[in-house]
Amino acid sequence: MTILSPSAAAGPLTVSGAPVPIAASSTLVNKLSVKPRLGQWSKVLIGGPNLGADESNAMAVLYPVPNGGQADAFVVQDEGGQNTIDLSQIYVYATIPGDTPMVEAFEYKTI
Amino acid sequence: MNRRELFQKAFGAGAAVVAASVLRGQSASFNGPAGGSRGSTLVTIVTGPFDTSSYPNGVRALTDTPQFATYVRIQAHPGQQGKIAIGNSAMASATGNVADSAFLELWPNWDGTLDNGRSDTWILSDPEWNNTINLADIYVWPEIAGETPVITAFQLA
């Protein structure tokens, strides 16, 4: 049977000074969201392999949420119900090295 | 109309009931319809403030036995003061800060003064409304022991 399962690539993503891909190798998922981690002060950039730390080629720029309130988020999901989003092609950058934006990803699996 | 179409028209409703009961009975390893199924009636299978306090580390899966939903909503409980971490099974065995093993955190809404009183909320739904979300794979941890996020899960039964 087919289930929508949390991806092993999900969790806090450490960004240490340059844009990093969410996964090192091709990892296809159905849903992806990236949010600044609550209490951290980084602005978070989302983009493709050509994402620049200066916001060039950014798909989304998320503001931090240091003191409460709903965090800004970048969310994309294949509405056709397929695993089509390649995490190795999505890059994340945090303006403060060492910050850890939260990555949520779900993939269809057959069990 | 051939015999098959006539049969479907006359007994369609009854056949749907039979199909649903077959799904429920096909495995002892999960409750309710099988993963990937899609019934015709939206039913609530988890609802209300969710207490994790009796579970190790205060980390609890949404259901103890696998059960497949099409829509899940987790909301920080208005008036409570801790963050809510949401993650996968890695959270159950986490040491140190459990939220470091989460994939998402909800900020508390302790007095309604931020975001026009809206509470931070996480929603996951299957885009084709199939029952594909295994509630036993999703774990919740309130930062403050005893706090109770508001959780709702729907299934098409």
In the structure, what pLDDT confidence band is assigned to residue B6 with cuts at 50, 70 and 90? very low
Query: pLDDT tens digits, residue range A7-28?
Result: 999 999 999 999 999 999 999 9
Helix (H, G, I), strand (E, B) or coil at B20: helix
Say if residues B113 and B65 touch (Cβ distance below 8 Å).
Answer: no
Classify the C-alpha dihedral A45-A47-A52-A54 as positive or negative: negative
In the structure, what pLDDT confidence band is assigned to residue A53 with cuts at 50, 70 and 90? very high
What residues are paired with A28 via a beta bridge?
Answer: A86
- Check residues A110 and A66 and name the one with the higher pLDDT: A110
Mean pLDDT of B41-67: 96
What is the DSSP code string of B78-146?
TT--S-EEEE-GGGGG--S-GGGGEEEEE---SSS-SGGGPPPEEEEE-TT--B-EEGGG-EEEESSTT
> Which residues on A lie below 8 Å from B128 (Cβ)?
80-81
Check residue A68 and give its pLDDT.
77
Q: Where do we find the tokens 């999900």?
A: A10
* Least confident span in A7-11, A103-107, B5-9, B119-123: B5-9
Percent with pLDDT over 70 in chain B: 82
Say if residues A28 and A85 touch (Cβ distance below 8 Å).
Answer: yes
Give the residue from A7, A32, A37, A70 with the most B CB atoms within 10 Å of its CB, the best one to mutate: A70
User: Residue B7: pLDDT above 50?
Assistant: no
From B107, B121, B132, residue closest to A2, measured CB to CB: B132
Closest B-chain CA to A72: B120
Helix (H, G, I), strand (E, B) or coil at A100: coil
3-state helix, strand, coil in chain A (%, to 5): 5, 40, 60
> Which residues on A lie below 8 Å from B127 (Cβ)?
30, 77-81
Q: What is the ipTM of this complex?
A: 0.89
Mean pLDDT of A100-111: 96
Check residue B1 and give its pLDDT.
42
> What mean pLDDT is reported for chain A?
95
User: Residue B12: pLDDT above 50?
Assistant: no
Say if residues B131 and B71 touch (Cβ distance below 8 Å).
Answer: no
Query: pLDDT tens digits, residue range B48-60?
Result: 999 999 999 999 9
Query: pLDDT tens digits, residue range B91-131?
Result: 999 988 999 999 999 999 988 888 888 899 999 999 999 99
Mean pLDDT of A56-68: 90
The strand ranges marked E within chain A are 2-6, 11-12, 20-21, 28-29, 31-35, 44-47, 58-62, 74-77, 85-86, 91-94, 102-110
Kindly report the nearest CA distance between residue A83 and chain B, in angstroms. Answer: 12
User: Residue A51: pLDDT above 80?
Assistant: yes
Closest A-chain CA to B125: A4
Check residue B116 and give its pLDDT.
82
CB pairs under 8 A between A and B: 81
In the structure, what pLDDT confidence band is assigned to residue B85 with cuts at 50, 70 and 90? very high
User: Residue A71: pLDDT above 50?
Assistant: yes
Check residue A1 and give its pLDDT.
93
B97, burial (CB in 10 Å: exposed 0-12, middle 13-18, buried 19+): exposed
Mean pLDDT of A44-56: 97
Say if residues A44 and A62 touch (Cβ distance below 8 Å).
Answer: yes
- Number of residues in chain B: 157
- Put simply, the answer to whether A69 touches B105 (Cβ < 8 Å) is no
User: Residue A52: pLDDT above 50?
Assistant: yes
From A1, A30, A102, residue closest to B36, measured CB to CB: A1
Check residue B8 and give its pLDDT.
43
From B102, B126, B127, residue closest to A11, measured CB to CB: B102
Check residue B27 and give its pLDDT.
63
Q: Which of residues 43-82 of A touch B (CB under 8 A)?
A: 65, 68-71, 77-81
From B68, B115, B128, residue closest to A3, measured CB to CB: B68
